[in-house]
Amino acid sequence: MPVVTLLSDFGTADGFAAAMKGVILGIAPDVQLVDATHDIVPGDVEGAAWALSQYWALYAPGTVHLAVVDPGVGSARRAIAVVADDRYVVAPDNGLVTRVLQAATSWRCVEVAEPVYMRPQPSSTFHGRDVFAPAAAHLASGLAFERLGPPVEQPCLLSIDPPPRGEDEVEGRVVHVDRFGNLITDIPGEWVESSWLFEVGGRHVGNLRRTYSDVGVGEAAVVIGSAGTVEISMRDGSAAKEYGVARGDPVKARR
């Protein structure tokens, strides 16, 4: 039974997420639906790209990841489908797939353009229901990827570059703040050693620990997080609040 995961910024209370699921099951009654999240901050493509990066590759080949954070719905932005390391992603062409493409060994992309794989007379305000969900369902049902539309050579990408790396220093950034207030950075764990020192929000936060609870309550712990990058946490507290730091803010690592 193929799996279709769903990510959106729709919340659930308006019935929009449930509408997408109904459309998918109408086309592909045998899929297993998996809610990834509907709690992306409205319009936060960057946050959606990060969330997607945490799970897409953990699903079996053939899985279809539907990801709809689509502030440009109805505009000239394209709808796209990507096959990356044998997993599919169906999403608006606004950079949402950036981290998938960066992590994949190989990928191809097509535009979702063929009307026969959309709902009849798609609305201009809800492509999640009328364009993305049907495309995801058809892929899950075995439709050949190329049938969705013409190839896309250059999907839109967010500018996510590795941080500048000196001999003894890395100038990283916070790329995600999670529900616990942990500051997840773009500094690869392999670039730093246990003796290195870290700075965020103009304050020193010590050196690398093995895990969150290797410090006392209310103290900062710098760890290599589950995404493989440096992460600044606060035991039983929120590092984001304590340091007044948000996504995009700098984090320094020094030997």
CB of 54 or CB of 102, closer to a second copy: 54
Determine, following the binding rule CB under 8 A, whether residue 17 of this chain makes contact with a second copy.
yes
Under 8 Å between Cβ of 145 and 110: yes
Pairwise CA distance, residues 4 & 17, whole Å: 13
Under 8 Å between Cβ of 176 and 230: no
Pairwise CA distance, residues 227 & 213, whole Å: 18
Determine, following the binding rule CB under 8 A, whether residue 203 of this chain makes contact with a second copy.
no
CB of 232 to a second copy, least distance (A): 12
Q: Report the residue from 214, 241, 244, 255 that binds a second copy according to the rule CB under 8 A.
A: 214
CB of 129 to a second copy, least distance (A): 7
CB of 110 to a second copy, least distance (A): 23
Binding mask 167-196 for a second copy (x = CB under 8 A): ---------x-xxx----------------
CB of 141 to a second copy, least distance (A): 14
Site for a second copy in 109-168 (CB under 8 A): 123-126, 129-130
Pairwise CA distance, residues 53 & 50, whole Å: 5
CB of 149 or CB of 225, closer to a second copy: 225
- Helix, strand, coil proportions of the chain in percent (round to 5)? 25, 30, 45
SS3 159: coil
CB of 76 or CB of 144, closer to a second copy: 76
Pairwise CA distance, residues 223 & 117, whole Å: 46
- Hey, what amino acid is at 199? E
Tokens of 39: 């709690």
**Which has the closest alpha carbon to 139: 58, 62, 34, 52?**
62
Tokens of 196: 């290195």
Site for a second copy in 68-87 (CB under 8 A): 71-75
CB of 13 or CB of 164, closer to a second copy: 13
Site for a second copy in 20-49 (CB under 8 A): 21-23, 25-26, 29-30, 32-43, 47
**Which has the closest alpha carbon to 138: 90, 100, 93?**
90
Q: Report the residue from 212, 219, 249, 250 that binds a second copy according to the rule CB under 8 A.
A: 212
CB of 25 or CB of 156, closer to a second copy: 25
Count of chain residues binding a second copy (CB under 8 A): 71
